[in-house]
Amino acid sequence: MSDIDIRRAQEADVPAIVTMLADDPLGRGREDTSEPLAKAYRDAFAAVDADPNQFLAVMTDGGQVIGTLQITFLAGLSLQGAWRGQIEAVRVAAGRRGERLGQRLLEWAIEKCRERGCRIVQLTTNKSRQDAHRFYDRLGFKASHIGCKLDLKA
Amino acid sequence: MSDIDIRRAQEADVPAIVTMLADDPLGRGREDTSEPLAKAYRDAFAAVDADPNQFLAVMTDGGQVIGTLQITFLAGLSLQGAWRGQIEAVRVAAGRRGERLGQRLLEWAIEKCRERGCRIVQLTTNKSRQDAHRFYDRLGFKASHIGCKLDLKA
């Protein structure tokens, strides 16, 4: 475990991130891992990378990407002008699950939100991800909300 | 209803927005409406206003603020690099509820997300807000997720 690092993603990490997004019961049907990687992923990476309120992170082991998540820092008037850190697209590579790497990644992200002065860390998780619910509960998250999505392409 | 407009919030609207945020069963205990308005609200407004991916909106009637919501446009790799529009802090002024103004405000926001090329519109709503669940369901949202919050000041 000694070579594990968590850092800001670079463009060269995008294929490995997309592979992890796709390697998932819900992600499988919605990502496109064909090569060369679709331009939409490169464009999305450029938009995230250019935004000072976005932090796309990768966890690496000996240089190999083994995990990812995205943090968005959100300003708002609610809660007396509190900043929120929102976590999305959390994945650990298939071959590296069960090593508590997800916990390490989340604890790192929570600390990042604290450093940025966030009052709240928030995320949503699909109702079908039972293991994820227990995982976030152990990290101290309260499942206080319902997350609603409207698909504009449906 | 003919004088109703929806536009980007200006600094002068902040006190009216905070009043609406506070006038709510959940907001009551967490906002500070004392005058002069706490600097944290002004700072939060400045951060939102400076961010091209944020749109804090007010609905007005004859110039008076009667509703608000905040949209954040989120880039990300998931869903083939889809943009998402996230809606938060939705409120209609106490004296103007029951006129379907919330629906009008949400439909406007969904259209705004469509114009920006978003694939998904997402929001979370507290489990205690039963009326809100029916409201979002009628607008076509699917309650597919659990929304988890971690309070870093708790």
Across the interface, of B48, B141, B152, the residue whose CB is closest to A75 is B48
Q: Which amino acid is at B111?
A: E
Cβ distance of A74 and B75 shorter than 8 Å: no
Q: Which residues from A are below 8 Å from B153, CB to CB?
A: 119
Q: How far apart are CA A110 and CA A121, in angstroms?
A: 7
- Helical H segments across chain B, by residue range: 14-22, 39-50, 78-81, 101-115, 130-138
Over residues A21-56, the pLDDT tens digits come to: 999 888 888 999 999 999 999 999 999 999 999 999
Which among A44, A136, A144 has the least Cβ separation from residue B81?
A: A44
Print burial letters for B98-132: b (CB count within 10 Å at least 16), e (below 16). eeebbebbbebbbebbeeeebbbbbbbbeeebeeb
Residue B82 amino acid letter:
A
Determine whether the interchain pair A41/B119 forms a contact, defined as Cβ–Cβ distance below 8 Å: no
Residue to substitute from A20, A90, A107, A146, interface B, most B β-carbons within 10 A: A146
Verify whether the Cβ–Cβ distance A40 to B81 is below 8 Å. yes
The distance of Cα B37 from the centroid of its chain, to the nearest Å, equals: 20
Residue predicted with more confidence, B153 or B149 = B149
d(CA B35, CA B15): 9
Write down the pLDDT at residue A2.
64
Give A111's pLDDT tier (boundaries 50, 70, 90): very high
Query: Distances from the Cα of A25 to the Cαs of A22, A31, A79, B82, B131, in angstroms?
Result: 8, 11, 36, 19, 32
pLDDT category, B112, cuts 50, 70, 90? very high
- In A, minimum Cα distance to B151 occurs at A120
Mean per-residue pLDDT for B142-153? 97
CB contact (8 A) between residue A77 and residue B41: yes
pLDDT for the residue numbered A29: 87
Number of CB atoms found within 10 A of residue A151's CB? 15
> Residue A111 has which token pair?
């600390």
Contacts of B140 in chain A (CB under 8 A): 150
Q: What angle do CA B50, B53, B55 make, to 5 degrees?
A: 75
Q: Which token pair is B146?
A: 């659990």
Contact B30 A79 (CB under 8 A): yes
Sheet strand arrangement including A142-151: A4-8, A54-61, A64-74, A83-92, A118-126, B142-151, A142-151, B118-126, B83-92, B64-74, B54-61, B4-8
* CB pair distance less than 8 Å for A149 and B141: yes
- Name the residue among A22, A15, A9, A26 with its Cα closest to residue A132: A26
Interval B85-97: pLDDT, tens: 999 999 999 999 9
Residue B48 to residue A153, Cβ atoms within 8 A: no
Give the Cα separation of A101 and A52 in Å (integer). 26
Q: Provide DSSP, A73-85.
A: EE--SHHHH-EEE
Q: Checking DSSP bridges between strand A142-151 and strand B118-126, what pairing results, if any?
A: antiparallel
CA distance B63 to B3: 8
Query: What beta strand segments (E) does chain A contain?
Result: 4-8, 54-61, 64-74, 83-92, 118-126, 142-151
Task: Give A66 to chain B, closest Cα distance, Å.
Answer: 16
Q: Which residues pair with B145 in a beta bridge?
A: A126, A147
B-chain residues within 8 Å CB-CB of A53?
51, 53
3-class secondary structure, A130: helix
Closest CB from B38, B53, B89 relative to A51? B53
pLDDT over threshold 90, residue B2: no
CB contact under 8 A, A148 and B145: yes
Contact A120 B54 (CB under 8 A): no
pTM of the full structure:
0.96
> What is the DSSP code (8-state) at residue A20?
H
Quote the percentage of chain B above a pLDDT of 70: 99
Give yes or no for residue B1 having a pLDDT over 60. Answer: no
